[in-house]
Amino acid sequence: MQSMIRAYSMTILGAAAMLVLPLRAETMDRPGGFKIGQRMTLRPYVGLSYTLDSNVAARENAKGGYSWVVNPGMNFDYRGENWALNGGGFYRYSDHSKKAIEDDNHSYGQNLIFKWANSEPNDRGWTLMISESYQRRNNTDDMLNSEGRGYSRDYDQFQIAGALQRRLTDKWHADVNASYYYLQYDNQRDKEHWQQMYGWDRLTLGSEVGYAHTKWTDFILAANYQWYNQDNNVYRGNSAANMNYANLSSDSDAMSVYGGIASRATERISYRALVGWTKFKYAEGDSNSDGVTYTVSGNWKISDTWNTMFLANSYFQPSEYEYGSSIRVDSISWGIAHSMIRGRLTSTLDFAYRRETRDYSTTSRSDYDVDTLTTRAGFNYQINRFFTLFSYLEYQFRNYNGSSGSAYNYDYDRLRWTTGIRLTY
């Protein structure tokens, strides 16, 4: 029955695929841990690392610094006969050299995934999957988090998604799905140095139907409705002239339809690729936009020592940098991992590219696009069952492309080197 749950995982996650998740070709968690009874396994860990950062504040005028990080956490899984629950939690304390800029040294979060199914793959039956996560992040945390977008702010992020699938025959299946996403920035810290940013939340309701033409190919039709609430309808600056643009509705909505293919039966290659059309209505019709959107994911176990992953998606959303603005986001992530020395040494290479295209703006001062490229190369070396050495180099580049009337420039380069040791039971 556990193989049944694994087989459904990619299909159900894809059905609720408006979540924001980091891509990793190699994950931190390793087999091991200690068991409680026959069903639960706990995997505690603690890491200690040192980071050199060329641009601590992620600003055009770079100022370097360093930090020490202590990172305890716990992962777990609990397995029943036809269901499984796994998740974890973490805490990070960062001691920064630039105290005037980095006031908040704490990050913490948790995640849960629940899976249940009452039939084997390709048999008639029901499947349910629910995922949830919350994180409070410091702005110096991993630059590959959330599509490598380079938040450069402390923030709270919560997301939950679920899908209920019914396999009608050995060929046909259908599901309903829903997700909720929430993002809120901490704008109270160091107001003299930081521009105010705007949070938002989104509720998505959708459904899809699929036809498994062969065990290798599944044809998918999907549709969803998205409702947004944002706080960028209120100008936070002190310019009276700009207050004229504050009378916008905080509600926006979108409708999307998709078609594509997926595979959930291959041993080494799994993928899901949907392309469709989205109509986005910003601020209850202050702006109406539409365009081609897509969601693509894939994993390829090339061999016993090589593995690669790919993610890409696009969508519309309210702007997080400017009031009275909306953007289109296109993001691509790719990672590859290679295991060596009988699995003790793992090298990784990850890329993330995010393009924010200004879809609508109430003023030319906010009319600009942003490109963010993040890359990371690193290795993990497992000394023994308990201790792992790790080191990686990260680089992030942000390019601002605005009109002559634009007011801001967010260009920066950032290079970080981190090394540390992790104890995992």
> pLDDT per residue over 325-370, tens digit each?
899 999 999 999 999 988 899 999 999 999 999 988 777 667 788 8
Note whether residue 69 is domain-resident.
no
What are the pLDDT digits (tens) for 68-111?
Answer: 999 999 999 999 989 999 999 999 998 878 654 545 688 999 99
CB-based contact 123:106 (threshold 8 Å) = no
Note whether residue 294 is domain-resident.
yes
Note whether residue 79 is domain-resident.
no
The residues, any chain, with a CB within 8 Å of residue 100's CB and separated by 6 or more, are: 190
Largest distance between two CA atoms of the chain = 67
CB-based contact 99:119 (threshold 8 Å) = no
| Predicted pLDDT of residue 40 | 94
CB-based contact 143:373 (threshold 8 Å) = no
| Predicted pLDDT of residue 196 | 74
Note whether residue 54 is domain-resident.
no
Total-model pTM: 0.85
Domain count across the chain: 1
Residue type, 68: W
Q: Chain centroid to CA 407: how far?
A: 29
Note whether residue 41 is domain-resident.
no
Q: What is the enclosing helix (H) or strand (E) of 8?
A: helix 2-15
Q: Chain centroid to CA 299: how far?
A: 16
Tell me if residue 10 falls in helix, strand or coil: helix
| Intervals of the chain under pLDDT 50 | 1-29, 100, 102, 238, 240-241, 404-407
CA gap 317, 327 in Å, rounded? 6
Range of the domain at 372: 12-31+138-424
CA atoms within 13 A on the CB side of 78: 8
Residue type, 83: W
Note whether residue 7 is domain-resident.
no
Note whether residue 172 is domain-resident.
yes
Tell me if residue 222 falls in helix, strand or coil: strand
| Predicted pLDDT of residue 265 | 58
Note whether residue 252 is domain-resident.
yes
CA gap 70, 91 in Å, rounded? 8
| Predicted pLDDT of residue 1 | 43
